[in-house]
Amino acid sequence: MSDEATPGMVKITIDGREMQVPAGDLLIAAAEKAGTYIPRFCWHSRMKPVGLCRMCLVEVEGPRGTMLTTSCTMQVNDGMVVHTESDVVKKAQEGVLEFLLINHPLDCPVCDKGGECPLQDQTVSFGPGESRFVEEKRHFEKPIPISDLVLLDRERCILCARCTRFSEEISGDPLIEFVERGSGTQVLTFPDEPFASYFSGNTVQICPVGALTATAYRFRARPWDLQAAESTCPHCSVGCRISVQSSQNQVLRFQGVDVDSTNQGWLCDKGRFGFEYLNSPDRLSTPKMAGDDGLQEASWIDALDAAASGLMSIIDEHGPGAVAGIGGARGTNEEAYAFGKFLRSVVGTGHLDAQIGDGLEPRLLAAPADRGLIGDLEKASSILVWGPDLKEELPVLYLRVRRAATELGAKLVVAHPRRTGLDDVATHTLRYRPGAGQDLLRRLAAGEGDAGAALAALKEGPTVVITGLAGLTEGPDLAEAVAAFGRDLPDATVLPVARRSNVFGALDMGVSPALLPGRASAVDDGARATLSGHWGADVPDGSGRDTAGIIEGLEAGAIRAVVLLGADPAVDFPDPARASAALAGAELIVAIDMFESVSTSMATVVFPALGFTETEGTVTNLEGRVQKVSRLLPGPGGARPSWEILEDVATRMGGSIGATSAGVIATEIEKVAPAYAGATWDALNTAFGRDGIVVPTADATQPIEYVPVDRPSAPVQRDLVLHLARVLYDGGTTVQRGLSLAKLAAEPAVYITPQDAHRLGVADGSAVRLSGGNGSAELTARFDDSLTPGAVYLPFNLGISVGSGLEVELEALA
Amino acid sequence: MTDRILTTRMDAHPADSNVLARYEATGGYAALRTALASKTPEEIAAEVKASNIRGRGGANFPAGVKWGFLPPETRPRYLVVNGDESEPGTFKDRQLLERDPHQLVEGIALSAYALDVRQAFVYIRGEYPRPARRLQRAIDEAYEAGYLGTGILGSGFDLDITVHLGGGAYICGEETALLNSLEGRRGEPRIKPPFPAVEGLYAKPTIVNNVETLSNVPFMINQGGAAYDAIGPEGARGTRLFSLSGHVRNPGNKEIVMGMTWRDLIYGLGGGIPEDRAIKAWIPGGASAPWLLPEHLDEPVTIDDVGRLKTMLGSGAVVVMDETTCVVKAAHRIVRFFAHESCGQCTPCREGGSWLERMLARIESGDGRMMDLDLLLDVSDNISPGLTWPPKMTTICPLGPSATAPVTSIMWHFRNEVEAHITGGGCPL
């Protein structure tokens, strides 16, 4: 090593070993990078150091002699000389461990953490051999539930404050705190306020002892019995990296894996505990066919024959344009690609959509100009979030924005019809009535009135603009106009978002009337011709229908058959009643799904599909980052991969989609889909465990780059308008089929401002009738003073729907 | 030469020393008037620096030097007055707050002027409702009379003082825990650096001074810092209030010029021990201080001389124990206090303090083991490595090591008596 330190590095000496470490690093982190592990409990690399467990004490030489100090609170300085193994340090560390253990119950044999417990591990490595403590240990009632998902054992707790700091610093819902003091200090919730955080499971994962346990995992396995595989969370499009852990062919838990690009170790509780649906006894395990008495179990041969012959007879009679496909946004890229190829090349239809009438312009999602990365938030000076409440729809993106606005000092502008999870850390919050968002956008762009300060903030680049559908009564134009506004800011990247887990992958795979695989345009004759060459089949032109169009087509009789891939439009379409009625009129529905649903109840044939953890493949997140999902489990009985089912149907129709394995499909994608060139199966496997591959890579050409268009529209003026938006825990399959999450879904209610309520004679908690564009419902009214006046808010998919029209009426019921 | 500064008014006018009229009639607010009319903030600060006063809260750090740590540019700055006075045996600030609150208000105003502070806080322990009321009344009077508020005495200087009553935690006397408490957080000490002068209340530069320290400031402006510096021996300038308690005939606050001997203090001002019993030991500076012994009676009472004896004057609480005192019981009482008052964040203090307490309780009740003797010292060593003076610590703040002071005091000086508890199955006294 030369005497000169590399720029950005400083030279320090640890235990006589000279080394270069990054300037500004905390000593504990620098030492670890350089190969010296200093024991710790309270320090966590993703949270601010607090230096309170005192485990990481080391000696640092200084002008006034050697000083005992916590290495988690000390930044490295050039020339620093550190001792981590001196007698003084060893005695101090042994002393701290002995102190931690005197009141610890040492019930490791019955503790979930046993076997993966930092207290166990570090006691073995750094602790005293035996205890000298003969007094009675501290006792608390144990365990106590602090939420529906988390139990607290205060006897095991070593008061490292990781959980309390997480809830305050990272997730922003400080519902747990130290109470009492001295040896009576304990972590507790506040009276009558449970630890109702969307992120509570992270505290279980970062607890260095077994003090916090999850109801979903408690007493289910020992760590050494678990099989594990890294994968990508299937619950939303953030694409959090997880470790899937199972025992005896059952998924038992998901743990967050720390990757810089996406989740930085954290997960939301829906992601963490939402695995339970995979183990549900309701999983489909055999094909089913419509009989006189609903769906009946059928053999694979009969079901495949029925699906193929049904599709062929409709094609024969009405042409391939009478067939449509909806879905593909919940599975892998390989499944979506197989779905798109099946529909376009085997059926010959251009009516296919991965979005369910609740999305944005597909080209804006798949190939936006000036697309940003989540990581851009780390260096952003300003952020605009105009779209969904990220805490409800993309929770870990919420954490990343929150971190940028709090820890990293970015100015945050949030525009939404009501309070969002980010409002308390926003520098500017803007409200608008659904239907009048463009008015606000004009005012923001012009810097008028209260929007002036927000505009000034957004002109401080770098800026990240996150945009999406704020509510389901809004069309996609507003988000696109926001994206166009964002591009005009001096130094901005744009991140258009949609929620469904692999919607970005499905669009990239061409499951959209407008898109061909690899972000090519379906109206581009050349691109279609190239694809025809690859597939050896004609590719229909780009005039196909999206989901709304397909539903219209069903209503009009133009569409007669629908293939559903992991989609339930009868529930997920913004106007579910309309979609349900339309599907009921279909002559043929072929559904591939993990569960029966409202939509499959109308199907002719239902195929049991393997799901997450049961199939391998790739997924693409909202940044265009391709990551792998792993297969760890066999799945239930006769369920098969969706692509294999599609291949078997194709074969019976006299065609083929060439789907023999996920790897084979992935290899074809790399060849056929221009933006995915270079993202080979091997490359993805290599990038697995790190940050995945953002497509297009430097070696690939992305055929289209979509420049968002601002299409001004006149504001809709109505007495009362509907804000229809998603909540994290809703009536969806992945929530309702899991024991832990199902009970967290809220009771449906309609929210109204106290002023509007007064005008309408409605009291908080009273019964009202809400009437909308397609139906009416009786439900409870709740006051929400954060709502923009003249609007009511109805959470989507909690069992109540009045259609997705903007205009609603509300009347008090006696 | 002046031998009393702080208590002259309250002694001369016991009936009304706390009210504005009396304060003004005895020269009060003259210093503030002079300062605002004809002195720059720098000149005021220079007088305080020249006085060489060392902080009276317990750490004895030179106050003028502390003032110099403020970063020159950042505003706002805050002045926080530490009136938490919770060191067992200490009751001097209480008397200053109750009986001469205007002296403190004027000291705060002068200091705020010197430090370019517009908002000061006085943090008073929760168990001091009357001192808090008296101070609030004085502040109200001062506002009324134009000594506080906007445009004080026609100058351009503005100052608001807010009184805050604590919730009853010893640790809130530690300056950074006090700041957390004032901000509405749990009273837990912060890691230093940053020091409060750089990043204190609401993350702004903050000077934290003790009630007694600031009560001296009017004198320094009226008489000059040099006059204050002329009082008492070097390193222990000025007068100082000692809270004398325990086995003495005349307990109470004694304002003295430092440099007299312990014998002068305990047997002179304190009147000696009731029934002329023999002295066994005394705590020289609050419960955190290691004890002194009869052989030290003729040592001088100064900060540095006491430091040489490996203990401290601390907050000036002198607790005298005569020959009837069971040292195990005394140590247990003190350790119990510290174990109870540990904020709970650092492992060694939270766990070690209560472990020491329980061992001492066991020994006192006759259930001790001989091996507990070394264990007491080793557990103490794990809180305060090496058991040196000044103490090293494995903790963030000195509360943990404070709990070891009575343990080492009895183990090093009264080991036979501790052993007798074990061999005899209880207290031998």
| Cβ under 8 Å to B: A residues 22-51 | 50-51
The pLDDT mean for chain A works out to: 95
Q: Do A95 and B348 touch (CB under 8 A)?
A: yes
DSSP string over A513-563 = TTEETTTEETT-HHHHHHHHHHHTS----TT---HHHHHHHHHHTS--EEE
With a pLDDT cut of 70, the percent of chain B lying above it is: 100
| pLDDT for the residue A716 | 84
Q: Which one is predicted more confidently, B326 or A4?
A: B326
Quick: pLDDT tens for B97-152.
Answer: 999 999 999 999 999 999 999 999 999 999 999 999 999 999 999 999 999 999 99
Is B343 within the bounds of a domain? yes
How much is the average pLDDT of A303-309?
98
Q: In which band, very low, low, confident or very high, does the pLDDT at A5 lie, cut at 50, 70 and 90?
A: low
Cβ neighbors of B178 (< 8 A, separation 6 or more) are: B80, B82, B84, B123, B166, B172, B187, B208
| pLDDT for the residue A512 | 98
Give the CATH number, domain containing residue B177: 3.40.50.11540
Q: Which of B347, B362, B372 to mutate to test the interface with A (most CBs of A within 10 A)?
A: B347
Name the token pair of A105: 């119950």
Query: Which domain, by its residues, includes B201?
Result: 8-229
Write out chain A residues lying below 8 Å of B375, CB-based: 132
A280-303 burial, b for 16+ CB within 10 Å, e for fewer? beebbebbbbbeeeebeebeeeeb
B242 DSSP β-pair partners: B254
* Pair (B346, B309) in one structural domain: no
How many other C-beta atoms lie within 10 A of the C-beta of residue B294?
A: 14
Q: Do B344 and A180 touch (CB under 8 A)?
A: yes
Cβ neighbors of A601 (< 8 A, separation 6 or more) are: A294, A295
| pLDDT for the residue B90 | 96
Task: Say whether pLDDT at A615 is over 60.
Answer: yes
Name the token pair of A504: 């970005």
On whether any CB of chain A is under 8 Å from the CB of B382, the answer is: yes
Find out if CATH 3.30.70.20 is the number for domain A720-812.
no
On whether any CB of chain B is under 8 Å from the CB of A73, the answer is: yes
Domain endpoint, select from B176, B195, B229? B229
On whether any CB of chain A is under 8 Å from the CB of B340, the answer is: yes
Q: Which of A158, A181, A406 to mutate to test the interface with B (most CBs of B within 10 A)?
A: A181
Domain endpoint, select from B229, B263, B279? B229
* Pair (B249, B130) in one structural domain: no
Q: Measure Cα distances from B406 to B330, B341, B418 in Å.
A: 8, 15, 12
Quick: pLDDT tens for B381-398.
Answer: 999 999 999 999 999 999
How much is the average pLDDT of A608-622?
97
Give the CATH number, domain containing residue B252: 3.10.20.600
* Pair (B33, B155) in one structural domain: yes
Contact B333, B409 (CB under 8 A): no
Please name the member of B342, B351, B362 whose beta carbon is closest to the beta carbon of A181. B342
Q: Do B347 and A53 touch (CB under 8 A)?
A: yes
Residue of B nearest to A94 (CA): B382
How much is the average pLDDT of A592-601?
97
Q: Which of B392, B395, B331 is nearest to B360 (CA)?
A: B331
Q: Which of B244, B303, B240 is nearest to B59 (CA)?
A: B303
End-to-end Cα distance, chain B: 46
Q: Which of B190, B351, B373, B388 to mutate to test the interface with A (most CBs of A within 10 A)?
A: B351
| pLDDT for the residue A509 | 98
Please compute Rg for chain B using Cα positions. 22
The complex's ipTM works out to 0.95
Half-sphere exposure of A281 (CA within 13 A, CB side): 1
Q: In which band, very low, low, confident or very high, does the pLDDT at A3 lie, cut at 50, 70 and 90?
A: low
Q: φ and ψ at B27, to 5 degrees?
A: 90, 5
* Pair (B224, B247) in one structural domain: no
| pLDDT for the residue A233 | 96
| pLDDT for the residue B96 | 98
On whether any CB of chain B is under 8 Å from the CB of A243, the answer is: no
Q: Measure Cα distances from B354 to A103, A453, B16, B277, B329 in Å.
A: 11, 54, 45, 33, 15
SS3 percent helix, strand, coil of chain B, rounded to 5, is 45, 15, 40
* Pair (B45, B176) in one structural domain: yes
Is B204 within the bounds of a domain? yes
| pLDDT for the residue A436 | 94
Q: Do A57 and B394 touch (CB under 8 A)?
A: yes
Is B2 within the bounds of a domain? no
On whether any CB of chain A is under 8 Å from the CB of B359, the answer is: yes
Write out chain B residues lying below 8 Å of A123, CB-based: none
Task: Say whether pLDDT at B1 is over 80.
Answer: no
How much is the average pLDDT of A63-83?
94
Q: What is the CATH number of domain A9-85?
A: 3.10.20.740
* Pair (B135, B15) in one structural domain: yes
Quick: pLDDT tens for A189-203.
Answer: 999 899 999 999 999
Give the architecture (CATH level 2) of A302-359+503-617+629-663.
Answer: 3-Layer(aba) Sandwich (3.40)
Is B21 within the bounds of a domain? yes
* Pair (B200, B267) in one structural domain: no
How much is the average pLDDT of A693-709?
94
Task: Say whether pLDDT at A529 is over 80.
Answer: yes
Q: Do B347 and A183 touch (CB under 8 A)?
A: no
* Pair (B386, B248) in one structural domain: no
* Largest distance between two CA atoms of chain B: 74
Residues of chain A with CATH 3.40.50.740: 302-359+503-617+629-663
Hey, which CATH number is domain A368-496, 1.10.10.10, 3.40.50.10800, 3.40.228.10, 3.10.310.10? 3.40.228.10
Is B251 within the bounds of a domain? yes
Task: Say whether pLDDT at A1 is over 50.
Answer: no
Domain endpoint, select from B198, B229, B260? B229
Contact A250, A279 (CB under 8 A): yes
How much is the average pLDDT of A672-678?
96
Q: Which one is predicted more confidently, A572 or A714?
A: A572
Distance CA A315, CA A309 (A): 10
| pLDDT for the residue A684 | 87
| pLDDT for the residue A352 | 98
Name the token pair of A721: 């308008």
* Pair (B42, B140) in one structural domain: yes
Quick: pLDDT tens for A761-776.
Answer: 999 999 999 999 999 9
Question: Helices A118-126 and A87-102: crossing angle, nearest 10°?
Answer: 140
On whether any CB of chain B is under 8 Å from the CB of A185, the answer is: yes
* Pair (B109, B225) in one structural domain: yes
Task: Say whether pLDDT at A2 is over 60.
Answer: no
Q: Is the dihedral of CA A257, A259, A260, A261 positive or negative?
A: negative
Is B428 within the bounds of a domain? no
| pLDDT for the residue A566 | 97
| pLDDT for the residue A713 | 85
Q: Do A98 and B381 touch (CB under 8 A)?
A: no
* Pair (B69, B213) in one structural domain: yes
Q: Do B169 and A159 touch (CB under 8 A)?
A: no
The pLDDT mean for chain B works out to: 97
Q: Which one is predicted more confidently, A756 or A129?
A: A756
Is B179 within the bounds of a domain? yes
| Distance from the Cα of residue B363 to its chain's centroid | 31
Q: Is B194 left (phi over 0), alpha (psi -120 to 50) or beta?
A: beta
The one-letter amino acid code at B322 reads D
How much is the average pLDDT of A605-626?
97
- Number of compact structural domains in chain B: 3
The one-letter amino acid code at B402 reads S
* Pair (B313, B351) in one structural domain: no
Cβ neighbors of A317 (< 8 A, separation 6 or more) are: none
Q: Do A183 and B381 touch (CB under 8 A)?
A: no
Q: State the pTM of this model.
A: 0.95
